[in-house]
Structure 1
């Protein structure tokens, strides 16, 4: 058997590679670094990879728009699992560089945003240069001809490239974390674990007062809690928005299945991106009246009414 192929944001040393290693044994897969998130997901869609691991959300910037938008458009993909990693950076530079020598620092745009206050305090005059990834910025710096003097890199990457660490633990939020997801092509949904998450994209039927409330009521009426909801502009209808949603629960559970039925009845587009184990492992909260047994009892009662039992 050939090893499953995984695409991830490269080069080697990125936080995404660390997430990949947390999800699967690297000795049992073929890992392929790519230039960005759309390239990783396109590799899965095109059959060049079996799976991709991509960042979808972080505690500083919220949703990773490149991931949300690429998942929502094109041929169907499915989220199969997730992992959450703590994120902090090292400020690295070529040997002999001092903090006062730095005129420009490079990192992925999300990395720069997660360290904006630190950079403003420690390097107030330095230009901030976006890179394709934090590891890529460090590698470019190590070549000696980069248009910047320092980089924000994942811990250990700078030293492995012969760079000096000028500061460690660089982050505005010491509890910063990023959520990564494993993505593949659609297949039968794995069974519920009792601690699951379902990810959806929903387009509202029209732009009117109360349209969003009507959509949210499909969840609320069934006791389904949302852990994330973000609006994204629709490329096909400027000025209108779709909603990317994480709901706590699994499509096998009656409350989630009925919420999906309600969404499909009342909205023109509902994209199901998968039900999968939540990284927290916490049991899904069940509101009174929404357990599987209570749904089963209610259905049995209605069937009894149809049969003439009161």
Structure 2
């Protein structure tokens, strides 16, 4: 369903009971739709008595598009970043956090446990900084503080990420994304190529192929240069979960995030990369449920 959030049309899935347990807001990462949250995770949270809210971030899936802002030149902006210059982005992570609060407002939710994956973890961090009274707990999964000294993707992964499909036909786009997700996936919990193809096909047919939206989101991530130093202000109970074998956002990024947030608990999951296969979901649930008690 569509809601008006922060003045935008945002696509939302609202699942589970409105009961005594606080809602859980799931915030997905760069270029990923709400359907990227595994259904077994949503089902487990609902069985535990939580209302679960997922949504498409702006510029992806079925939510509001920002094509009128154009596509940023990421190579140029990255070069500026290396030389210590400010990076320009069509919008900011703070804007994306405001969208998330707008979703809660539209649903009449005053407070929630906020769980973010990858870029979603960064948005969740921004939410805890902007309105801590609304974030009961913060869970940052396979994400980063954004500190410039942290390591980046493995070279083989970066090469795949920088490649582009030769055309926008469904088979070509599908093959491209299969290569991407195989490159960043969990080495200890591999997903078959057929399962990947099916999930990606469903995603592409639902929300289309929107590389410019992903580029604008990435520009917002790169431009968020002050968050690492601000994290020390967070007093929200925080859990940082990270794959010990993440080839895209190395585990050092999760360790750094936990170090910067006072009292944060850090959990590394051996064999986990930069995805959420079923066996990893099972490993995530216990520490999440513990922090919510």
Instruction: State the TM-score, normalizing by the size of structure 2.
Output: 0.31
- Structure with bigger helix share is 2
Task: Return the index of the structure with the highest Cα Rg.
Answer: 1
